[in-house]
Amino acid sequence: MNRYQNAKQFKRELDENRLEACYLFLGEEEGEKEKCINRIILMAFDNPATRAQATARFHVENGEFMQAADFALSPPLFSSRRVCVMYRIDALPQAMQGAILSDLLRDLPSSTVLIMTAEGARPPSFIEKHLSAFKVVQFWRYFENDVHQYVAATVRRMGFAIDDEAVRLLIERTGNDIRKIDEAIDMIRFSGIAGPVDAASVAMLVDDVRDASLQDFIDALFKRQAKALDILRRMHDENVQELGVLFRILRQAEIMERYYDYAESGLSASEAMEKAGVFAKNREQFSQYLRRFPRERLRRLIARIGETDYLLKGGTEWKGLIDNPLFELSAREVFDT
């Protein structure tokens, strides 16, 4: 018999506003883990400014365990507690799995809420002897029928319609990964599609959600790196939808525009990123985008996106990639001062 709670049982517990000192989240369903992490953070702090200052997320697989431990062990300065999130504790180097981890858990102050995540279905072997300190929750992947119901309920809550064939295609192209499904639904919601969403719309937008080369292109473009043009050339050779690429550029630009709105209203950088929808693990990358695109340059980009959208929808046949409006837009953003 499984002695650990599943996500559904755990959410009912969160509904009762019960906070534990230490959590261990297991399993492959990263999207549901992230939702529960965010709920715990909201429960821990009433004040958004305090929440931004007293919460930190660290990726153990990127060598951030010691920074995470320092944060977790430090007393809070501006609040009554801290929340420390350690992703992928199962990637902890062997040299730290003994005394260093034991010392952290022994000395953890009562003011710190500690959340650890791991990819496996079972706790990492080096945590077994510490399990009594943790609330352990297993996050299983959804069955396809459950995912179908999840998509239908989510889009209904957001106020738009999607037909059954579109739902089937969306699930096929994102798998049972709720995080990817949420991103796909968000992309559809902001796409401006009028009327019920059909399979053709999903094919244009959602296929790109899991396309690594497209994300590489967006990252290079907003860092104004020349390699963005090479990635765009390769996507062009693979017949990637130009309007889908342009939409992703616009989507990133809109997130940055929202950030600037929040920042100029007086919010801290961290809080503005949170309200703009920037995941914690992406914030350093996002800061690099902001340095390359101050607000005036970003506004010029958004205007150029509108011009490019008009040209791409005009039905003109372009002689080559260099003449293509999307390539011209990208080249100007990379090279223009």
Residue of higher predicted confidence among 243 and 137: 137
Give the residue-averaged pLDDT of 116-135. 90
pLDDT at 256 over 90: yes
Q: Do domains 5-138 and 144-208 have the same CATH topology?
A: no
pLDDT, residue 144, reads: 61
Indicate the class that CATH gives domain 5-138: alpha beta
Q: Is the pTM of this model over 0.85?
A: no
pLDDT at 209 over 60: no
pLDDT more than 70, % of the chain: 92
Give the residue-averaged pLDDT of 299-312. 91
pLDDT at 309 over 60: yes
The amino acid at residue 221 is: L
pLDDT, residue 1, reads: 40
pLDDT, residue 192, reads: 67
Tens digits of residue pLDDT in 13-70:
898 888 899 999 998 888 888 889 988 998 988 877 777 788 888 888 888 899 999 9
Across all residues in the chain, what is the average pLDDT? 85
Provide the sign of the torsion angle of the four alpha carbons 250, 309, 155, 181, taken in this order: negative
Residue range 212-335 in CATH 1.20.272.10: yes
SS3 readout for the chain: CCCCEEHHHHHHHHHCCCCCCEEEEECCCHHHHHHHHHHHHHHHCCCHHHHHHCEEEEEHHHCCHHHHHHHHHCCCCCCCCEEEEEECHHHCCHHHCCHHHHHHHHHCCCCEEEEEECCCCCCCHHHHHHHHHCEEEECCCCCHHHHHHHHHHHHHHHCCCECHHHHHHHHHHHCCCHHHHHHHHHHHHCCCCCCCECHHHHHHHHHHCCCHHHHHHHHHHHCCCCHHHHHHHHHHHCCCCHHHHHHHHHHHHHHHHHHHHHHHCCCCHHHHHHHHCCCHHHHHHHHHHHHHCCHHHHHHHHHHHHHHHHHHCCCCCCCCHHHCHHHHHHHHHHHCC
Torsions phi, psi for 24 (to 5 deg):
-130, 115
Residue of higher predicted confidence among 177 and 196: 196
Tens digits of residue pLDDT in 192-201:
676 788 888 8
Residue of higher predicted confidence among 223 and 159: 223
pLDDT at 187 over 80: no
Q: Report which of 146, 203, 202 is spatially closest to residue 178, judged by C-alpha positions.
A: 146
Give the residue-averaged pLDDT of 284-298. 93
pLDDT, residue 280, reads: 72
How sure is the predictor about 296, in pLDDT bands with cuts at 50, 70 and 90?
very high
CATH architecture for residues 144-208: Orthogonal Bundle (1.10)
Domain spans, the chain: 5-138, 144-208, 212-335
